[in-house]
Amino acid sequence: MACMRLRFGECYSMPNWRQVLDEIIAWANTNSQQAGNAPDVIRRKYLDQLFRHRDRNVIAYYSGFLSRPGLVQSGILDEDKNGFMMAVHTLDRSKGLDLILHTPGGDIAATQSIVHYLQNMFGKDICAFVPQIAMSAGTMIACSCKEIWMATHSNLGPIDPHLRGIPTYGVVREFRRAHKEVKKDPSKVVIWQTIIGQYRPTFLGQCENAVIWSNNFVRGQLEKVMFDGDSQGKKKAGKIVKDLSNYQKNRVHDRHIHHEECTAMGLKIKMIESDPTLQDLVLTVHHCYMHAFMNSTAYKIIENHLGSAIVRNATPGTK
């Protein structure tokens, strides 16, 4: 373990995945009557160190979707705003916000509302940190920040919205293809009728509106936050949205977009590895959350560097 110095001069050794687990176990053994609190104690220690290293507020928004795949509540929901309100309370907002994201995405309306709230609290002084994955609506949140910190192994994802689990871009494109093929060869109407008939009335319109909504939201956020004051901001934002929403290129909703491609499309990406102390702190915090999800019933944690947290726990049979 390397010795890393934080802003105020203290020297710490940053543990790896296994060492984080060993530290949790050691604390539990030493404090047997409070053994169940061990993951929280260790995690909050490193959140505090991250705050002191950057001298910026830290809020971690973590989903346990990798440990509990298919759990609907693990996505971004309106109820999450309560967690953010709790996390923001008592923070010195003049210090800005470092928002750590680990999420599969979720509801567009909830995402827009959460971004609106955070920007009302911290203005445009919000940095997104993606230790591993921020997909779909998580990418939309990241694009609403002034810069995005990624690691070599980090990923964003396409922003193509889904309705009822169906990709809206795919539906719109399928309808267009059906129209084109039937117009050219009316005999194909029978084939397409079987496919299109599975969609409910107005579903196409809903899909088209969702596409417009998500694209306009991300484009607007990029223009006013990440590219604020940039004379080429509108053009850059348009290119990024086109790349992130390119269904034909991305192919699937869960395509992983690495930092090289994010940089190439124009996003303001900073590498966590550029600061070894920051890298160790961010990854240690990430390890702490992964251990929490793997060894408890928790599926979502919203927490600040002061240790204030809302933890959502799954119950048997939850879907």
pLDDT for res 199? 79
pLDDT for res 255? 84
The answer to the question of residue 70 being in a domain is yes
CA distances from 69 to 64, 104, 143, 172, 317 (A): 8, 10, 25, 27, 13
Residues of the chain with pLDDT under 70: 1-15, 169, 247-248, 250-251, 253, 316-319
Q: How many CB atoms lie within 10 A of CB 224?
A: 15
What's the total number of domains in the chain?
Answer: 1
pLDDT for res 72? 83
Q: Which amino acid is located at 130 in the chain?
A: V
Strand partners, 16: none
The answer to the question of residue 77 being in a domain is yes
The answer to the question of residue 118 being in a domain is yes
Environment class of 285 (CB within 10 Å of its CB; exposed 0-12, middle 13-18, buried 19+) = buried
Give this prediction's pTM.
Answer: 0.88
40-83 pLDDT, tens digit each: 899 999 999 999 999 999 999 999 999 888 888 899 999 999 99
Rounded distance, CA 80 to CA 62, Å? 11
The answer to the question of residue 24 being in a domain is yes
Residue 161: both structure tokens together? 């919205």
pLDDT for res 195? 79
The answer to the question of residue 309 being in a domain is yes
Helices marked H in the chain: 17-30, 38-54, 80-88, 108-122, 137-142, 168-184, 189-196, 203-221, 233-244, 247-250, 259-265, 276-294
The answer to the question of residue 277 being in a domain is yes
Residues 278, 85, 218, 221: is their CA dihedral positive or negative?
A: negative
- Sort strands 11-13 and 3-5 into parallel, antiparallel or unpaired: antiparallel
Residue 45: both structure tokens together? 């220690």
pLDDT for res 250? 62
Rounded distance, CA 294 to CA 275, Å? 28
Domain that holds residue 302: 13-157+256-313
Environment class of 274 (CB within 10 Å of its CB; exposed 0-12, middle 13-18, buried 19+) = exposed
The answer to the question of residue 97 being in a domain is yes
- Please report, in angstroms and rounded to a whole number, the separation of the first and last CA atoms in the chain: 40
pLDDT for res 178? 76
Strand partners, 126: 97
Q: Which amino acid is located at 116 in the chain?
A: H
pLDDT for res 282? 96
pLDDT for res 200? 78
The answer to the question of residue 210 being in a domain is no
Please compute Rg for the chain using Cα positions: 21
DSSP 8-state symbol, 297:
S
Domain of residue 298, CATH code? 3.90.226
Contacts of 102 (CB under 8 A, 6+ apart): 60, 61, 62, 63, 130, 131, 132, 133, 134, 138, 286, 289
